[in-house]
Structure 1
Amino acid sequence: MALNNPYAAYQQNAVTTASPGEVTLMLYNGCLKFIKQASLAMENKQIETKNTNIQKAQKIIRELMLTLNMDLEISKNMSVLYEYMNHRLTEANVKNDRTILTEVEGLVVEFRDTWRQVIQINRQQQHGQGGQA
């Protein structure tokens, strides 16, 4: 199928060649995409589409939870926040409440933007160390 669809082949290649940090960033962006699609579907009274997209966002959040190193205190804190977001998505789905989706979207944006900064700092440190060697 990827051979017939160049975009699908590109996406597959982007994921398989990405660093773990970049994959995490992709997960955050995917989660945001599904939350926005769910919100639009909710607005348009497309209940099945809303449900499907909320479930996709929840799967991503569960995947992010699985990647946490629970030996670290920050991971325990992040796990609580991921659990909260997951619960709020369920609530938004049941209540058809777009304000809850907006709340979760804001949290995911904060996580994503922070993660993006971590990747940039890490790249700068690697580049700086490489130049000193």
Structure 2
Amino acid sequence: MYSQGQAGANAYARVGVQTGVMGASPHRLIVMLYQGARQAIAQARMHQQQNNIGARGAAIGKAINIVESGLQQALNKEAGGEIAQRLDALYSYMTRRLLEANLKQDEKMLVEVDDLLATLEEAWVGIGPEVAQMTAAAV
């Protein structure tokens, strides 16, 4: 099904992702989760446009998994206070919208969730220099 070259490229990509995760700061890991969820949504949109139902469902499932098991589970609701509580509610909303988008085959819902993730990703990237300074000061 795949050529050896493509299989090698896929293996190389997996190693690259694993290496990136292992060497990443907690801040960078969250950025990677946002990027992964957005990439899965982009794939779901592409499959929606191609009427590839199974692949669309798989991509949406991947996005849901990243939001629930990655972003939502990473929240520290005690230390994060109201912000963490609001993010938790927003992640739950995103999950519901992704499920609904899959059931209704609605690309607009996918775009809505992608826009929300893009806004959060931008804010998270924006605080990167401050996080780096705090980390350096702690060391």
| Deviant stretches of 4+, over 3 Å | 4-7, 124-127
Find the counterpart in structure 1 of residue 73 from structure 2: 66
Structure 1 stretches lacking a partner, 5+ long: none
Find the counterpart in structure 2 of residue 26 from structure 1: 32
User: What is the correspondence of 1:1-133 to structure 2 with a 5 Å cutoff?
Assistant: 5-62=11-68, 63-71=70-78, 72-124=81-133
What SS does structure 1 have at the residue aligned with 2:47?
A: helix
Distance (whole Å) between structure 2 residues aligned to residue 73 and residue 117 of structure 1: 20
What SS does structure 2 have at the residue aligned with 1:45?
A: coil
**Per-residue CA distance 1:64-92 (angstroms, 9 max, x = gap):** 11111111111000001000000000000
| Count of residues in correspondence between the two structures | 128
Instruction: Report percent identity of matched pairs.
Output: 31
Q: For structure 1, which segment, 26-35 or 115-124, has the greater mean C-alpha deviation from structure 2 after superposition?
A: 115-124
Q: CA deviation at 1:122?
A: 1.9
After superposition, the CA RMSD in angstroms is: 2.0
Which letter maps to 1:101?
Answer: L
Distance (whole Å) between structure 2 residues aligned to residue 95 and residue 123 of structure 1: 42
Which letter maps to 2:115?
Answer: G
Structure 2 stretches lacking a partner, 5+ long: 1-6
Which letter maps to 2:130?
Answer: I
